[in-house]
Amino acid sequence: MPWTRDDMAARAARELQDGFYVNLGIGIPTLVANHVPTGFNVQLQSENGMLGLGPFPYEGEEDADLINAGKQTITQLPSSSFFDSAQSFGMIRGGHIDLSILGALQVGANGDLANWMIPGKMVKGMGGAMDLVAGVKRVIVLMEHTAGGKPKLLPECTLPLTGARVVDMVISDLGVFELARKGPTRLVLTELAPGVTLEDMREKTGATFEVALAKAA
């Protein structure tokens, strides 16, 4: 049985390390916050100008001046700090954030990422996604393996790119792939979700890949 959204988030959380500063995208990546291992000090960054995001406020305690990048009301923690957008993206572009986990429309076998526009549809903008993938040390894509039955992991993206050769790892409902951002293209299947066969994976993946299943997931 493929992984649920929560299973995917839990798998992504295994990539966290104690002391990490992490930026989580909107959607499934948000769920990763629920799976931070106990005892780990992981600080979440919000690109609108905050480090140390707390949980949603209790009803009646919402503060219009305290929101995350999804514009939702949140709270601060004893560790929190606030800063302006230029410093926030200095942090991101300057390589100070350890990990970015975000969603995708398409990922190329070469590590290209497309997640901001579909030609012919209303374009809302890239927000901070291009800066995040260009600057953060490690980029993990968390996505459903297919969309409308069509593979999203392809030899190369057909949609306009968010970044070229920026993805280190893809975690989907079917398994985990590792990619190379430099040197020759390398797409390696390292884990299969329980009950997913190699044949299933080949059928639902648009690109050819190497197989290096280290252990049962």
Partner 1 sequence: MGKVYPDATAALAGVLRDGMVIHSGGFGLCGIPALLIEAIRASGVKDLTVVSNNAGIDDAGLGLLLKTRQIRKMVSSYVGENAEFARQYLAGELEIEFNPQGTLAERIRAGGAGIPAFFTKTGVGTDVAKGKETREFDGETYVMERGIFADLAIVHAYMADTEGNLVYRKTARNFNPMMATAAKVTVAQVEHLVRAGELDADHIHTPGIFTKRIVVCPPAYDKRIEQRTVRKHAAAAAGPDHLPR
Site string for partner 1, 65-104 (x = CB under 8 A): xxxxxxxxxx-x-----xxxxx-xxx-xx-----------
Residue 68 · residue 88 · CB < 8 Å: no
Q: Which of 33, 207, 213, 217 binds partner 1 (CB under 8 A)?
A: 33
| Catalytically annotated residue among 47, 156, 199, 203 | 47
C-alpha 192/C-alpha 55 separation (Å) is 32
Q: How far is it, in rounded angstroms, from Cα 165 to Cα 71?
A: 29
131 lies in the site for partner 1, by CB under 8 A: yes
* Tokens, residue 87: 């410093």
47 a catalytic residue: yes
DSSP secondary structure code for residue 34 in this structure: G
Of positions 160, 206, 207, 217, contacts partner 1 by CB under 8 A: 160
Rounded to whole angstroms, the Cα distance separating 99 from 101 reads: 7
Between 81 and 197, whose beta carbon lies closer to partner 1?
81
User: Given the complex with partner 1, which of 15 and 47 has the nearer CB atom?
Assistant: 47
CA distance 102 to 24: 6
The CA dihedral of 51, 55, 57, 62, to the nearest 10 degrees, is 30
The DSSP letter of residue 204 is H
Please tell me whether residue 21 binds partner 1 under the rule CB under 8 A.
no
Smallest separation (angstroms) from partner 1 to the CB of 31 = 7
Give the residue among 29, 61, 68 at the shortest CA–CA distance from 47: 68
Binding mask 40-69 for partner 1 (x = CB under 8 A): ----x-xxxxx--xxxxxxx-xxxxxxxxx
Nearer to partner 1, 70 or 206 (CB): 70
Using CB under 8 A as the binding rule, whether residue 146 contacts partner 1 is answered as: no
Using CB under 8 A as the binding rule, whether residue 139 contacts partner 1 is answered as no
Residue 207, C-beta contacts closer than 8 angstroms, at least 6 positions apart: 108, 109, 151, 153, 154, 155, 187
Which residues contribute to the site for partner 1 (CB under 8 A)? 6, 24, 26, 30-31, 33-34, 44, 46-50, 53-59, 61-74, 76, 82-86, 88-90, 92-93, 112, 122-131, 134-135, 160-165
Active site residues: 47
